[in-house]
Amino acid sequence: MSRPVLFLLAAVGALSACAPVAAPTADTPASPSGSSRQCFYADQVDNFRGDNQTLYIRGRNKDVFELKTLGYCSDIDFALGIAFVPDAGMNRLCTGDMTRIGIAGGGSPRTPCRVQVVKKLSEAEIEALPARNRP
């Protein structure tokens, strides 16, 4: 990975740790099958928590979404910040969508991890999360 790309990824990650970054979900566009999909905006994620396989993000409107890594994604549980690396300039992410995240913090630069938006959690599901995973 080139040095400018790594610098950009680190800068975006640092900003995402400081500034509000996940999720108005007022957008619930209809999918081709007719069901509604729940969405958030990657640049409006306020907080995140997770481990190397599951990531939970909280948006500005307090919605919490579950994302699953596609493969192993190291050090999410120790990350100081995350940054969504949009595919084709997409800022809105909906259930079923895949994207990449960059992880800020720690020593060496990391390759972005692929994740998939699984679902928006209900209030009961949020309360049932262990405190270490609740954003």
42 backbone dihedrals φ, ψ, rounded to 5°:
-60, -30
* Residue 132 placed within a domain: no
* Residue 128 placed within a domain: no
Answer left, alpha or beta for residue 93, where phi above 0 means left and psi between -120 and 50 means alpha: beta
- Residue pLDDT, tens place only, 36-90: 789 999 999 999 998 889 999 999 889 999 999 998 887 788 888 889 987 777 7
Query: Distance between CA 121 and CA 88 in Å, rounded?
Result: 26
pLDDT attached to residue 30? 43
Question: Looking at the 3D structure of the chain, how many domains does it have?
Answer: 1
* Residue 25 placed within a domain: yes
Partners of 93 in the beta sheet? 40
- Residue pLDDT, tens place only, 37-52: 899 999 999 999 988 8
Query: Distance between CA 37 and CA 27 in Å, rounded?
Result: 8
pLDDT band, very low/low/confident/very high, at 109 (cuts 50, 70, 90): low
| Tokens found for residue 125 | 């599901």
* Residue 46 placed within a domain: yes
- Say which residue, 118 or 76, is predicted with more confidence: 118
Q: Tell me the residue range of the domain where 32 lies.
A: 3-122
* Residue 58 placed within a domain: yes
27 backbone dihedrals φ, ψ, rounded to 5°:
-75, 115
* Residue 109 placed within a domain: yes
116 has a pLDDT exceeding 60? yes
Q: What is the mean pLDDT of the chain?
A: 76
pLDDT attached to residue 85? 85
Q: Do 126 and 43 form a contact (C-beta atoms < 8 A)? A: no
* Residue 129 placed within a domain: no
Predicted model pTM: 0.71
